[in-house]
Structure 1
Amino acid sequence: MTHPAIVPGTVAVITGAASGIGLAAAQRFAALGLKVVLADIGAARLEAAKAAIWTQTPEADLLAVETDVRDRAAVERLEQAVRVEFGRVDLLMNNAAIGGKSDIFGPLDNWQNVLDANLWGVIHGTQVFAPGMIAQGSPGLIINTGSKQGITLPPGNPAYNVSKAAVKAFTESLEHQLRNTPDCQIRAHLLIPGFVFTGMTGEGAGGNPSAKPDGAWTSQQLIDFMLEEIAKGDFYILCPDNDVSRELDEKRMQWAMGDLIENRPPLSRWHPDYAEAFRAFVDTK
């Protein structure tokens, strides 16, 4: 069984749709017969994405709208364009994000750009689109792309980690409010990718930017898994990859929460005094 919002003729809006996970989602939804709206920055990138989809699905009904999700007014223009073209929205995938390295004491502009895109882009998309989706009175989906880094918080990119931790909290609160809104048939899901080979992940295997590392999933694998989990009704779509099993992911997440419960130093998984204890914890059955 599939979700009633993912059937031929329904309308999907995807941000960050010109590449990576967003493009893979757009390709899959188009192949399933959905009308697909691609939102991203860069007109040329959007045209290339449309061409890639039409190569696979020539009959796809597509709309591309150049949109910077950091700009609330731009997201409002996107919603208006979709309403004019298709009259409704059944699926919203708030996926646009930026990565890169950061530092706690790094430049303010870097922090603001990451939070504006990764967090405020999700908030803008949800607040602009969800009221109309609820008012339609039909089943719908809001899928927000988070990250395992927003849960286990590995050192090296605190701005990205903070943004994705906030997306997790926002999406949990969103689902709680949706399910307690009378007559609301919209449900939220938190997509939690693992190691996925996209333009954001850096160099490919052997330094070749076009070669997928063995440990990574493709964006297409991720979307296949996402659809399976949505069909099962799972809110948390925790994705494994070729490097890390779900069992190991769960151990890492349990340990991260244990820092608070056991009053260990934060990020103790990377603390030399706790490295052996973490390895023993992972090895327990």
Structure 2
Amino acid sequence: MPASDVFQPGNTAVITGGASGIGLSLAKKCVDSGMKVLAADFDEELLARMKSEIGGDSNVVIITYKMDVGKLEDWAGLKDTVDDVFGGKINLLSLNAGTMVKCSWSDAQSFHKILNTNLFGVINGITTFFPLLQAPSTTTTHSTAVVITGSKQGITNPPGNPAYNASKSAVKTLAEHLSWDLRGNANVSVHLLVPGWTFTGLSGNRPGSPSREKPAGAWEPSQVVEYMVGKMKEDKFYIVCPDNDVTEEVDQKRMLWAAGDVVYGRPPLTRWREDWKDKAKEGVDQQQV
């Protein structure tokens, strides 16, 4: 059975960063599928707004939970809530919470803020629910899908925000290892969601704020969720989303070029180096995928 079969009436979803952006769109997808949703977020205002928007129907079960994903003690409280409300059952675990702030090498505080949310928010979620995920399989169907939100910046590594790139690069590694460690449990699938350019709160699309026009090149969060579900139907681990500016083929070529810096002993980040830009552009265009 495909991993997308978790989107079934009566199933349960736990979504961090669930009050806006991709997390909110995923929560709406789950509600539309008849699922029970526990949405966790740091922003109480957005949680309340979400509850009023999509939790008004008496048939909808949506619980909101304020937490800092970087704090392990908050995860203990979330697990207690899952045990109390869902009987310890999770069919979809979305480790999606993320932040992006600009930082410099002299700004250690911003490094800690980004890594606490983007990296330890995933580590804490995995360690909290790993006993549930590794429970012995009794059927050949997927009863749980784990979706971890990464970033293309964790793969191609563009200059400008080393803390964010490092956090998402580490998240990719964690997701790969989790998939490996759970490979023997047919009840669990793991997926790395790598959005393209998406119009979320990180890019000025905060729910309830003065409306800003979506950039033409960006996808709506709902498009990312639908693309993700399509790839889950194919049981794909790597879910690398295109957008209106960048195709899947261009993404693949850029990733191959980035890996080539290591393989061929080139300087790091050649795509952005002045003395390499022309060669890099030509090389990317000529990559075979």
The question of whether the paired residues in 1 share the 8 Å contact of 2:261 and 2:267 is answered with yes
Does 2:138 match 1:134?
A: no
User: Shift of the alpha carbon at 1:184?
Assistant: 5.2
Partner of 1:89: 90
Does 2:17 match 1:16?
A: yes
The question of whether the paired residues in 1 share the 8 Å contact of 2:3 and 2:145 is answered with no
- Amino acid corresponding to residue 267 of structure 1 in structure 2: L
For residues 107-256 of structure 1, the aligned pairs below 5 Å read: 107-135=107-135, 137=137, 139-180=143-184, 183=185, 185-202=187-204, 210-256=212-258
Q: Distance in 2 between matches of 1:2 and 1:152?
A: 27
**How many matched pairs?**
278
Partner of 1:279: 281
Q: Secondary structure of the equivalent of 1:252?
A: helix
Taking a change above 3 Å as real, the CA distance of residues 261 and 2 of structure 1, as seen in their structure-2 partners, is: closer
- Amino acid corresponding to residue 280 of structure 2 in structure 1: F
Taking a change above 3 Å as real, the CA distance of residues 230 and 23 of structure 1, as seen in their structure-2 partners, is: same
Q: Secondary structure of the equivalent of 1:153?
A: coil
Q: Distance in 2 between matches of 1:128 and 1:53?
A: 28
- Amino acid corresponding to residue 98 of structure 1 in structure 2: T
Q: Secondary structure of the equivalent of 2:134?
A: helix
Q: Distance in 1 between matches of 2:191 and 2:66?
A: 25
Q: Distance in 2 between matches of 1:106 and 1:203?
A: 29
Taking a change above 3 Å as real, the CA distance of residues 184 and 80 of structure 1, as seen in their structure-2 partners, is: farther
Does 2:80 match 1:76?
A: no
Q: Distance in 2 between matches of 1:58 and 1:23?
A: 19
Q: Distance in 2 between matches of 1:130 and 1:187?
A: 13
User: Shift of the alpha carbon at 1:35?
Assistant: 0.5
The question of whether the paired residues in 2 share the 8 Å contact of 1:134 and 1:185 is answered with no
Does 2:7 match 1:6?
A: yes
The question of whether the paired residues in 1 share the 8 Å contact of 2:70 and 2:120 is answered with yes
- Amino acid corresponding to residue 16 of structure 1 in structure 2: G
Q: Distance in 1 between matches of 2:28 and 2:53?
A: 8
Q: Distance in 2 between matches of 1:65 and 1:2?
A: 26
Which residues of structure 1 form unaligned runs of 5+? none
Q: Secondary structure of the equivalent of 2:242?
A: coil
Taking a change above 3 Å as real, the CA distance of residues 176 and 114 of structure 1, as seen in their structure-2 partners, is: same
Q: Distance in 2 between matches of 1:37 and 1:165?
A: 27
The question of whether the paired residues in 2 share the 8 Å contact of 1:4 and 1:140 is answered with no
Q: Secondary structure of the equivalent of 2:190?
A: strand
Q: Distance in 1 between matches of 2:25 and 2:72?
A: 25
Partner of 2:102: 101
- Amino acid corresponding to residue 280 of structure 1 in structure 2: E
Backbone CA RMSD of aligned residues: 1.8
Q: Distance in 1 between matches of 2:42 and 2:143?
A: 29
Residue 261 of structure 1 is aligned with which of 255, 260, 263?
Answer: 263
Q: Deviations over 1:224-274 (max 9, x none)?
A: 000000011000000000010011111110110000011111001111121
- Amino acid corresponding to residue 16 of structure 2 in structure 1: T
Q: Name the % identity.
A: 40
Report the TM-score when normalising by structure 2. Answer: 0.91
Report the TM-score when normalising by structure 1. Answer: 0.92
User: Shift of the alpha carbon at 1:100?
Assistant: 1.8
User: Shift of the alpha carbon at 1:86?
Assistant: 1.4
Q: Deviations over 1:23-69 (max 9, x none)?
A: 010011110111010000132221111122236x6632111111110
Q: Point out the more displaced range, 225-234 or 4-13.
A: 4-13
Q: Deviations over 1:192-220 (max 9, x none)?
A: 0010001102489xxx8621000000000
Q: Secondary structure of the equivalent of 2:117?
A: helix
